[in-house]
Structures are given as structure tokens and as C-alpha cells.
Structure 1
């Protein structure tokens, strides 16, 4: 006497829903790159917010076992948050730049306006410090450790470049290139506070002056923040990506619209 034993079919494997985490990572990367351009602060804010939300939702799916890309979702959420921060910085820079531009236009209009010869009122003197601030060392080659001193006694110093190892999620580093970090010190020896919002950096590398992209990760910041009061100083570490065979790095620091940019010719070891 025989019995037929039927084996139930194996359950179909659960399909992982990884789409939100992947979308968060892509939007986070685009948002962060957009945030590096101050005028695109609005795009960085929108993409950053969406990436943050999608990343958190994707992480929730991982917790429930519906997805298995925890690292991708988490990275997307982090980049989304970074995009939001950069969008705020970009907004501040843009608003400050527009405000300064409007002030300069108003000043130019006032300076070029015809004076009434019948007016007996004495001409008012333009306030000191409104003119562009020049580098007292202009024309002299700056090397590592040298300082650029401006008319208002603002002092900028750039250190000798050192090899830099970008992190796993670093932005701006190209495989095969070498990264280098420099320390930028700004000391306010003047009598007025200095706003660091508009301080910018750029660099070229090698004999052909190839643009050296700035490297951004958790070890190398994007730049200065806040205000430097009289008698105080601030320091940041900036990293740049250079071709493997580059022997020199030219770093330019621009303190703002009313300042001349200064360059340092640095030798790479």
C-alpha cells in the first residue's frame, strides 16, 4: 500500500526594495556638488531635502527586512544633510554678495553724480576702508609659511603642503591622482571684525597649471565660517587633488570682493 507525499513548493524569494536608498545616494551626490556653487543653493536645498527623506525611508525598509542596502541609504541621507548645510551657506554667500554689489553700485552712483556748484555744504569725505584692500606683498613670490598682509592688517598664511588620504566618500578626488592638504591661517590684526563668508580657495598644479580640484570629506573642510574679531585668528585645512607627477601646487586665497587675491607657490614632495 503506497502513499503519495506532496512536497509544498518553496516560497518565492522576497524581492529587495532598494530603489529609495539608491535614489537618495544619487540625489545626495548631485545636491552636494550643486552646493559647492553658491548660486545653486536652491537646487542643493531641494535635492538635499529629498535625498535626506528618501535615505531615512530606505533605512527604515532595511530595518524591516524589505531592503538590504543599508550603507547606500545611510550615505544618501548623510549627503542629503550635507547638501542642506551647503545650501544654507550658499544662500548666505549669495545674499551677502548681492548686498555688497548693491552697496558698490550705490556708492558709484553717488561718486559720479554731478555736484551742485551753488551748494555751500562742504563735501563729505568717503569713509576710509571702502576702497579695495590691496596686498602689501603684491608682486613678491609667496612660498610656504609666508604671509600676505593687507592694508587693513588682515594677514593670510598658507603652510607647506602635506600628502592627504581622502576618505571613502570623499568628493573631488580622481583615482590615480595625489591629494595634498594645506593649512590656511587668517589673523585679524586690524580694528574691525572680518567676515569669513566670502573667503574662497582655488589651486593649479604642475608645469601646465592644471586645475587642482578641492577635495571635500570629513577630514578636510569646505572653508571658514563666522567672523574673526580684532586680535583673533582662525585656521582651516584645505585639500586639493593634483596629477601624480605634479611637482608644484599654486594655491590662491581670495579674502573677498574688496581684497586682492594672493597666491602661494608650493613645492610638492
Structure 2
């Protein structure tokens, strides 16, 4: 039995072969998007850690995409190179932040408990375990001297700026001196008040800024050798008597403990 084979007309002069598929570079585009996101996140302290995987993935994707461009399998060379540049810059910023963080941890060790030291100018640094009001303690390049404590304050300020405490305010007067060789910033938000139960209370920097004249505890830059008299404001339960305050040069430093009991 003879098998029938269909016959097709010959290809005429008007026939054109279908065009080849256009070059694509999805990896190059993905590298650009990830590189741009990584670069943006790298500028944000703390949460910028998520930039690390973004920029690393961007480097891989953009690198593969660039190889496709060079082999003629893709055409978006500019977008791929832009992603590679963003990823490299973002990675450098991440490395700088990591180096700064490590340096802060290594240079802000507090005075060991039970020991004494002497700050420049001959000021005696009291042992952290026995420091009290009027004593000078050190954390990093800052020395702190608590000069007064006021408790049981119900409100601060006057008129429309008046701020009522949730419980009552505790005001801690402190003198801060920069003993280092570079300007440094004193932040009231880095300081912690403690009670007899070990509870920790954060400073209310906004209340200090709005209602305590010359509080100098919100965001104050102190040049080397200079001192600032600040007022730290804490909102605590009514009737609470604070037992100690932990003073910090920065949010990464170990802190120096000063007893407020007495």
C-alpha cells in the first residue's frame, strides 16, 4: 500500500522567514532593579543591613547580563551597566557602615567596674560601682557628672507648649565633657533611667526640647575639650524614685552607671 504524502506549493518570491526572537536580558534588568534598591537601602542606618543581599544578588545578575550583552544575546547594555554600578556603590557603603560600627564597638569601652581613671584635666573618674551624684564617670570619650535630680514633676512648659506627664517627670541635670580629639554628638535618647525593680525608662527628648530651656539633650554636638550642661527628662510612673541612670556616649557603647539613691 502506497502512503500518500501531501504536496506543498514551492516557496514563492514573496515568502519571508519569520524574524528571530528579539534579544532578551531579564537578568540584566533584575540586576538593575536590585542594585538600585540596594543602593537606596544602604544609606539607611540599621535597617540598611538588608542592602547586603540585594547588592550581592545585583552583582551576580548584572554580571551575567553583561556577559549576554557582550555575546550579542542581549541589547540593554546601558541598563545592565547601571545596575552593576549601583550594586558596587551600595556594597561600598555597606562596607563603610560595617567598618564604622566595628570601630564604634572597639573604641567605646566603658570604665571597668570597681576601677578608677582620670580624665584629661585631672578630673578623677569614680568607679562605676560606687559613682553617685557629683561624681564623674566616663563612657567612650564622654565624661558625665550628674549634678541634680528632680522628681514628681507633673507637667513641663506653659501655655500651648505645656506637656503633661503620663505619670510624672524626672529631671536629671548632667554635665557632659568631650575628652576625645574629634567632635561628638550627645543624644538624650541614648540615656536610660533605672528603678529598684530593674525597669528601664527612655528619655523623653521631645519634652526636653519643647519645654526645658537650654536642655542641650536632644541632639548636641560637643567639640573636643568642651562641656555641655544638659537636662534629661524621663516620664515615669507617679511616685517612682529612680535608683540609677546609665549614661552612654553612643547607642553602641557599654554605658556608665551612676547611682541616684541617697
Higher share of residues assigned strand: 2
TM-score, normalised on structure 1? Answer: 0.45
TM-score, normalised on structure 2? Answer: 0.46
